[in-house]
């Protein structure tokens, strides 16, 4: 018999979806993921240029707003994956309902075995060995998939009476503990995956800035006093008629990296990660003016 909306197949996946929703869907959880994504992305981005986030001084709103766009694609992938998983569930439920008791036990055992293999892959990935081979998402996805698959196998076995009486009693008695442990694994996997994607995005953005410094927005600095700016590509011009002008010096060859809390973070146009040039940090004051141009 095909599993319908009232059948065991629907109740099994419904229980699993309800559990995953309670763990991952609350607004507080989503806000925490967005904040963590923004924080790790900014940490990787500015760390590439030798800055720590304490010196940049970004706010919580900065982290949340700047993470919304980059997270759109991963969230869309998760939703599409959920649709695919739901389709696979109905196909698997159809198969399980057509098997005899022995076949259902074998199938559920295979699912449990796959779950433990997936959990093992995630555990190995904690040592960051798998990440170098398969990317930052491989291990946390394996950990989350193993946790959900283990609960799915347990629920399928319970609903379809595919477990011996004593084993079924043990599974039922430990249901709350199992769900708590799986919830913890899902949270670890969520933040782990978020950190990996955010760090990759931050590094990619930093490298993009490095190779496109020539076309980044120009920052021209005017100063009353001579500034000790000595960096590749930066040129100082002593302004004529300095007595009549508010500023005596102009510095060209700088690019805007960030502006936060009354401070300008500028990159020399000749900056590379390997040439030892540093970020120019200038405070907003009456002695300094920074003009921006495309």
pLDDT tens, residue by residue, 51-87: 888 888 888 888 888 777 767 767 777 778 778 888 8
Amino acid 100: pLDDT: 81
Which residues face 264 on adjacent strands? 259, 282
Q: Distance between CA 77 and CA 204 in Å, rounded? A: 20
Of the candidates 125, 33, 128, 119, the residue with the CA atom closest to the CA atom of residue 75: 33
Alpha carbon distances (Å) from 53 to 56, 59, 76, 196, 208: 5, 10, 29, 18, 20
Helix axes 175-211, 27-48, angle to 10 degrees: 30
What does the domain layout of the chain look like in residue ranges? 8-208, 213-293
**Interval 10-14 mean pLDDT:** 48
Residues 6 or more apart from 89 whose CB is under 8 A from it? 9, 12, 13, 152
Q: Distance between CA 200 and CA 136 in Å, rounded? A: 8
pLDDT tens, residue by residue, 179-238: 788 888 888 888 888 888 888 889 999 999 999 888 888 999 999 888 888 888 899 988
pLDDT tens, residue by residue, 106-134: 888 888 899 999 888 888 887 765 555 56
pLDDT band at 7 (very low <50, low <70, confident <90, very high): very low
pLDDT band at 267 (very low <50, low <70, confident <90, very high): very high
pLDDT tens, residue by residue, 190-206: 888 888 888 888 999 99
pTM: 0.72
3-state secondary structure of 281: strand
3-state secondary structure of 146: helix
């Amino acid at each position: 018999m095909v599993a319908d909306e009232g059948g065991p197949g629907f109740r099994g996946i419904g229980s699993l979806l309800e559990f995953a929703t309670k763990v991952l869907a609350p607004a507080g959880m989503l806000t925490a993921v967005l904040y963590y994504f923004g924080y790790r992305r900014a940490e990787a981005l500015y760390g590439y240029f030798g800055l720590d986030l304490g010196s940049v001084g970004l706010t919580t709103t900065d982290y949340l707003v700047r993470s919304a766009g980059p997270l759109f694609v991963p969230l869309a992938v998760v939703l599409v994956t959920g649709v695919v998983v739901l389709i696979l569930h109905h196909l698997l439920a159809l198969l399980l309902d057509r098997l005899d008791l022995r076949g259902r036990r074998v199938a559920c055992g295979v699912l449990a075995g796959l779950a433990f293999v997936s959990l093992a892959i995630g555990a190995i990935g904690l040592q960051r060995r798998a990440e170098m081979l398969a990317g930052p998402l491989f291990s946390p996805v394996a950990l989350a998939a193993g946790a959900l698959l283990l609960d799915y196998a347990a629920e399928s076995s319970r609903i379809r009476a595919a477990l011996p009486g004593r084993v079924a009693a043990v599974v039922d008695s430990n249901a709350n503990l199992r769900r708590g442990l799986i919830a913890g694994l899902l949270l670890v996997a969520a933040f782990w995956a978020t950190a990996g994607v955010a760090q990759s995005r931050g590094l990619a953005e930093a490298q993009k800035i490095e190779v496109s410094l020539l076309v980044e927005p120009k920052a021209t600095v005017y100063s009353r006093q001579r500034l000790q700016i000595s960096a590749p590509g930066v040129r100082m011009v002593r302004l004529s008629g300095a007595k009549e002008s508010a500023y005596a010096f102009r510095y060209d060859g700088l690019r805007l990296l960030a502006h936060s809390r009354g401070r300008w973070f500028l990159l020399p146009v000749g900056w590379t990660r390997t040439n030892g040039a540093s970020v120019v940090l200038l405070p907003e004051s009456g002695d300094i003016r920074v003009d921006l141009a495309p």
